[in-house]
Amino acid sequence: MTERLHEGTRGQEVWRDDAARLSVHVLDPVADLDVLHAWVTGPHAGFFGLGDLAPEELRATYEFVESLPTHHAYLLRADGEAVALVQLYHPQDDPVAAAYEPLPGDVGVHFFKCGDAVGWEVLGPALLGFVFSRPAVERIVVEPDVRNRPALARMVALGFEPAGEVHFESPHGPKDAMLAFLTRDRALALAGPSAR
């Protein structure tokens, strides 16, 4: 079941894109706490739902995530500098399962970019490359808040196909989201022959 998620110890590099100079590391809830807390309490982090947590609460939250075989968190780094938080999860073991019927090859993604060190034109393809680098992943599922217009626009720009608005109970309360999917075949077709 965990073959859809990258496994590793705290801080371990689990994926790399040398051309883009990006790497993905297993989140360390202790060593990465300061940067993570600064991100999720920032002015543009409202939709991520963690802005009210004290550092100790945030650490405990990600230690809990770390304990789950169905949910993993990672830091994406550019030349060693942390630039984004990536969370992958099995949708069938997440509240979003109340809103749709998950398929065996589905992986859910939450993504939080911080700063402008690396643009979406680089981070977007890297994110897709990271998730689809696991052969068991057939489809990526996203469910951004329907009010989060920048996230909705990025989702479409990356090739996700909206499947309609859904409502479900998230750990942070009721959520109205736009459910969208990107299959491996569609991602490859959009990337062109060089990605095959």
Q: What is the pLDDT of residues 54-74, one digit of tens each?
A: 899 989 999 999 999 999 999
At 60 the three-state DSSP class reads helix
**What are the Cα distances from residue 143, in Å, to 10, 57, 124, 186?**
27, 24, 16, 18
Nearest in space to 13 (alpha carbons), one of 113, 2, 112, 21: 21
* Arch. (CATH architecture) of 2-195: 3-Layer(aba) Sandwich (3.40)
Q: For position 92, what pLDDT does the model report?
A: 94
CA 45 – CA 23 distance, rounded (Å): 23
Q: What is the pLDDT of residues 25-45, one digit of tens each?
A: 999 999 999 998 888 887 676
CA 3 – CA 27 distance, rounded (Å): 18
* Domain coordinates in residue numbering, the chain: 2-195
Q: What is the pLDDT of residues 142-163, one digit of tens each?
A: 998 898 888 899 999 999 999 9
Percent of the chain with pLDDT over 70: 92
108, 101 contact by CB (below 8 A): no
